[in-house]
Structure 1
Amino acid sequence: MFSQEELDKAISTVDIIGDLAVIKIPREWEERRFEIGEALLSSLKGVRGVFRQTTPADDEYKVRGLEWLAGERDTLTLYREHGCCFKVDISNVYFSPRLSFERLRIARLTKKGEVLVNMFAGVGTFSIVSVVKGLAEKVYSIDKNPAAFKFMMENVVLNRVSGKVFPILGDSKDVAPELEGVADRVLMPLPALALDYLPYAVSCLRDGGWIHVYLHQKGRRRDVVRSGVESLKKALKDRILSAGGRVVRSVGRETYQIVVDVELAPSHSPSLEISRGLRYD
């Protein structure tokens, strides 16, 4: 049996995705993992299946490895957030409920009539929330994972945003030339590729605009946003009008996921680097 303290510790590591729970189990609990699964199944209201994350999301499609622990084995679920519904199969697409605040924050930053490019769209969560809860007029929503693209297509219909969210199957670096100069705002919610794909994001902007770059940064919490902004200053040089960011979440020992919101000047403008200063939240 688990003590309440142990159960609370286990629950603190759980991602609830629809009616499924995914847990990271510390090494000292591995032999008791099925017992933990049963305990969570009994404790978490509305959960019908419990899974353990066995590997991080580091393959080509950023899908994490899973092991069934308790309840039903079906990995297909319906996740609800900000008035939207998303079909997700946690066994073959990347999904994190821990980005819920970020999805709404980005939606609220959009202005009437804006066109967005989402370079790493997954099942369409950022893209769809930006239309349903924001003022985006159109979102080009790109992902290279065929399974994610399939669910994105379904989720566009499910949320009645056909004609506003346009799913595209492909690697965003290959798609970017077809979207050159179309966007007012570009989303890059994949830290592993964000800096490498930054030139393609810039190419998608009309002539100036916003890029939201998600990064993993090591260091002290109070320093990681500043270091992330400095990385982007080096990459973008004199195109930056303003830049600021926030810590999204902790993802490991002294490692944080951050987001940096960068406003770029039109390409023909004179040097304006940090002319409005940097902000650190």
Structure 2
Amino acid sequence: MARGSDGEGGGVQSVKRALQIMNVIADTGAPCGLSELAGATGLPIATIHRLLRTLIGAGILRQEPDRRYALGSALVHLGDQALAMIAPLVRPHLTALVDALGETANAARLEGTQIVYLAQVPSRHQMRMFTEVGRRVEAYRTAVGKAMLAQLDDQMIAEVYANTEFVATTPTTITCLDDLLRQLQSVRRDGYAIDDGEQEIGVRCVAVAVPGPPSTLALSVSGPTARINDGLVARAVPLLQQSSSAIAAANRATYPGLPAPRAAR
């Protein structure tokens, strides 16, 4: 066996281990120490330390003053490029949603406790919703955010939001973790999420998560509350689900090594 290969489909063991470390830090949402990384990955501390030195040298990780390890600035450029590559994939689906429903269609990604808008096709109505691509919003205030958070289990959500202050921007904004978890139960049951003026008064939105990698991607349709009524939501949900499934299939075809979609627990 060649040095560095683990024999699993020709994969390189050191690369897989490095990715495992990065994913642990990303999932934790905070800097991690050596012992934490060893416990989460099952790797020897000596191996982790060697990989950490390489990743720090490349700017992919950084070491904090307390000697814990965090994601580095080099990943910002990679993340920006990844977002740019996703937009062309989802834009035709957003256009089809606007054609079918007449309202603004959006694609967003979950990053920590926030969502970032990746692409948007605006409604043709004079009164329509507009969000700048790249804008970040707290996930718990949005339909796309709740659709993606619902893919995670409650324990992980509780850990992510353990030190988060819920800030209300409207009278209907979620203001505590218990209310968020209750809404996410409904999202999992129904297969879609609703934002009923929770981010902005007078704006309603319905969203569906894209299954599987990228597991933190969702599509939505948004507009004035008067137009995003229950009838439009009923029409929008199956179209959003169809588009989301098509995007997931396209991702698996483009990147056959991606793992299969994982059901939320």
TM-score by length of 2: 0.37
- Bigger relative CO (Cα 8 Å, ≥ 6 apart): 2
TM-score by length of 1: 0.35
